[in-house]
């Protein structure tokens, strides 16, 4: 299975050798997505003499990093008030400020390493298409402001202001934040791989790790001996021994259209390439690509029993149909456009919805992830944090509240299966209720709150 992004640059894919003999390195990184590649990048930046191997079961960017919606967003899957409750107000604010600053950091690396990934920081518009969503948006902006963030971080837009940027069907109101860029995800993954190889990191492809242990990584016929192992497997983590219940793989799906014609573009506007979503529970996420296609994604696909991850799950006829219907509803101009690709992939969800960066200096075991679909930018912050933890230089990033944060394990099956799918159904039901009645679905929302 591939994605529109991977297909579009298939000719630039570098084929790398697989790991055929035992090796000895300082750091073994399992997973060649953004988490693994950014980790290699910052470790090399901080300590150039480290011997680092990235071991990837398929190819660089095979996972979510080559398939995502290309939202490079400073927002996190945990809200400020959630972080405040767990870690205190200052830690929550600090986490968000660092996350917003991460876009500047990514821009610097893209320039320094000459990575062209169609990056454009046009910000994000969040729309409301009913009164409940409208209230949600107003509350979100108010919450940000109550933590000292200002109009320069997030603000409400008048309907006219929003429609002058993008033509959106049925818009009640909206908000805007500048803390997001649209990117071509696979170009970023390939560019990062080039950058780390230039610095002496060795990447092995088609090399599946079957067991991660302290100072050792085992493949089918070979072993890597090392001081430190970084687990950077995100949505695939449940496939590793001893990690069945660490992160639940939830699938997200996308479609992309052919490029809009000039007259369609004139109709829809969207000249600043803002990313777009609305305030429904079952998230949708949209970007307009550099070459004028609409890439539209959505969550809500059923969770697979036993946290299974299989190539067969990379497309889902019913969910893709639903995504296309949503796209036609939000952007009627797309009804006349051909869908040129449908795809999907797993993302990693921790039980507490709280991403983390972990490092145990005694065992040399490290991990990062659980970004719940917000990893394009967070992988950079997580990897930078991890590199400083490993180098042990007491950098301020190592004090962020996600460091060594332990989420609960997911429930054993079949509770996990019924629980996750029940919550997904509940979310979809709430959305339906809100859009048909314009009123909150208080009882179901309360149940959702209790279990999330
Ligand atoms: C359809 C979709 C849309 C998304 N949209 C967005 C978005 O717009 N914005 C956003 O911020 N986030 C988005 N996300 C999430 C984001 O893409 C991820 O959070 C991010 O890419 C995670 O990067 P990663 O390197 O941790 O994981 P991955 O990119 O999944 O990389 C993990 C790598 O590990 C490899 N691997 C797994 N098991 C093994 C093994 N046993 N041995 C060796 N290698 C192994 C895999 O092959 C894979 O290449 C989306 C995700 C999906 C699926």
Percent of the chain surpassing pLDDT 70: 99
Reduce the secondary structure of the chain to three states and give it as a string.
Answer: CCCHHHHHCHHHCCCCCCCCCCEECCEEEECCCHHHHHHHHHHHHHCCCCCEEEECCCCCCCCHHHCCCCEEECCCCCCHHHHHHHHCHHHHHHHHHHHHHHHHHHHHHHHHCCCCCCCECCCEEEEECCHHHHHHHHHHHHHHHHCCCCCCCCEEECHHHHHHHECCCCCCEEEEECCEEECCHHHHHHHHHHHHHHCCCEEECCCCEEEEECCEEEECCCEEECCEEEECCHHHHHHCCCCCCCCEEEEEEEEEECCCCHHHHHHHECCCCCEEEECCCCCEEEEECCCCCEEEEECCCCCCHHHCCCHHHHCCHHHHHHHHHHHHHHCHHHHHCCEEEEEEEEEEECCCCCCEEEEECCCCEEEEECCCCCHHHHHHHHHHHHHHHHHCCCCHHHHCCCECCCCCCCCCCCHHHHHHHHHHHHHHHHHHHHHHHCCCCHHHHHHHHHHC
The pLDDT tens digits for 107-117 are 999 999 999 99
The pLDDT tens digits for 323-360 are 999 999 999 999 999 999 999 999 999 999 999 999 99
Q: In this predicted model, which residue has the larger pLDDT, 241 or 356?
A: 356
Q: What is the mean pLDDT of the chain?
A: 96
In the predicted structure, residue 270 carries a pLDDT above the cut 70:
yes
Determine the distance separating the centroid of ligand 1 and the alpha carbon of 235, expressed in angstroms: 6
Q: Which of 246, 312, 235, 281 is nearest to 67 (CA)?
A: 235
User: In degrees rounded to 5, what are phi and psi of residue 351?
Assistant: -60, -35
The answer to whether position 431 is within a domain reads: no
CB hemisphere CA count around 333 (13 angstroms) = 22
The answer to whether position 187 is within a domain reads: yes
The pLDDT tens digits for 290-313 are 999 999 999 889 999 999 999 999
In the predicted structure, residue 103 carries a pLDDT above the cut 70:
yes
- pLDDT confidence of residue 445: 82
For the CA of 368, the nearest atom of ligand 1: 26
The answer to whether position 142 is within a domain reads: no
The answer to whether position 452 is within a domain reads: no
- Report how many domains make up the chain: 1
Q: In this predicted model, which residue has the larger pLDDT, 241 or 334?
A: 334
The answer to whether position 268 is within a domain reads: yes
What's the rounded mean pLDDT across residues 207-227? 97
Output the residue whose Cα is nearest ligand 1's atom 22.
Answer: 375
Q: What is the pTM of this model?
A: 0.97
In the predicted structure, residue 416 carries a pLDDT above the cut 70:
yes
The answer to whether position 158 is within a domain reads: no
Retrieve residue 139's tokens.
Answer: 């509350």
289 confidence band (pLDDT: 50, 70, 90): very high
Query: Which residues does ligand 1 sit against, CB inside 6 Å?
Result: 30-36, 55-58, 62-65, 67-71, 73, 208-209, 232-236, 239-240, 252, 254, 285, 297, 344-345, 347, 369, 371, 373-376, 379
- pLDDT confidence of residue 82: 96
The answer to whether position 359 is within a domain reads: yes
What's the rounded mean pLDDT across residues 122-149? 96
The answer to whether position 421 is within a domain reads: no
Determine the distance separating the centroid of ligand 1 and the alpha carbon of 67, expressed in angstroms: 8
In the predicted structure, residue 449 carries a pLDDT above the cut 80:
no
The pLDDT tens digits for 157-185 are 999 999 999 999 999 899 999 999 999 99
In the predicted structure, residue 267 carries a pLDDT above the cut 90:
yes
Q: What is the residue range of 371's domain?
A: 4-123+178-410
CATH number at residue 42: 3.50.50.60
263 confidence band (pLDDT: 50, 70, 90): very high
Output the residue whose Cα is nearest ligand 1's atom 4.
Answer: 68
Mean pLDDT is lowest, of 22-26, 113-117, 442-446, for 442-446
The pLDDT tens digits for 60-80 are 999 999 999 999 999 999 999
For the CA of 344, the nearest atom of ligand 1: 1
């Amino acid at each position: 299975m591939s994605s529109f992004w991977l297909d579009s640059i298939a000719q630039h894919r570098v084929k790398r050798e697989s790991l055929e003999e035992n090796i000895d390195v300082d750091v073994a990184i399992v997973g060649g997505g953004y988490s693994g590649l950014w980790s290699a990048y910052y470790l090399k930046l901080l300590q150039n003499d480290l011997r680092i191997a990235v071991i990837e079961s398929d190819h660089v960017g095979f996972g979510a990093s080559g398939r995502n919606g290309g939202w490079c967003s400073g927002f996190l899957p945990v809200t400020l008030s959630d972080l405040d409750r767990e870690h205190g107000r200052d830690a929550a604010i600090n986490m968000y400020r660092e996350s917003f600053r991460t876009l500047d950091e990514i821009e610097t690396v893209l320039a320094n390493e000459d990575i062209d990934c169609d990056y454009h920081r046009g910000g994000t518009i969040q729309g409301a298409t009913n009164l409940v969503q409208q209230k949600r948006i107003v509350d979100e902006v108010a919450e940000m402001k109550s933590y000292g963030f200002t109009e320069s971080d997030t603000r409400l837009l008048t309907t006219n202001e929003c429609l002058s940027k993008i033509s959106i069907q049925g818009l009640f109101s909206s908000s805007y934040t500048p803390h997001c860029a649209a990117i071509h995800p696979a170009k970023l993954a390939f560019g990062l791989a080039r950058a780390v190889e230039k610095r002496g990191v060795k990447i092995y492809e088609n090399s599946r790790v079957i067991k991660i242990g302290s100072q050792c990584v085992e493949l089918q016929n070979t072993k890597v001996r090392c001081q430190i192992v970084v687990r950077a497997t995100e949505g695939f983590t449940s496939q590793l021994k001893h990690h069945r219940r660490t992160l639940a793989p939830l699938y997200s799906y996308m479609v992309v259209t052919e490029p809009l014609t000039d007259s369609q573009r004139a109709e829809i506007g969207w000249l600043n390439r803002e990313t777009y979503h609305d305030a429904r529970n079952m998230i949708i996420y949209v970007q307009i690509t550099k070459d004028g296609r609409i890439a539209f994604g959505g969550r809500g696909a059923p969770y697979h029993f036993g946290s299974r991850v299989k190539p067969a799950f990379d497309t889902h006829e019913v969910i893709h149909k639903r995504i296309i219907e949503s796209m036609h509803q939000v952007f009627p101009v797309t009804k006349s456009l051909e869908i040129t690709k449908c795809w999907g992939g797993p993302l990693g969800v921790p039980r507490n919805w709280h991403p983390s960066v972990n490092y145990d200096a005694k065992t040399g075991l490290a991990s990062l992830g659980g970004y719940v679909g917000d990893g394009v930018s967070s992988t950079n912050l997580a990897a930078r944090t991890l590199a400083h933890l490993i180098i042990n230089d007491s950098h301020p990033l190592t004090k962020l509240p996600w460091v060594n944060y332990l989420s609960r394990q997911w429930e054993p099956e079949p509770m996990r299966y019924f629980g996750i799918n029940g919550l997904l159904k509940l979310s979809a039901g709430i959305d339906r209720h809100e859009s048909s009645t314009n009123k909150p679905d208080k009882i179901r929302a309360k149940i959702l709150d209790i279990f999330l």
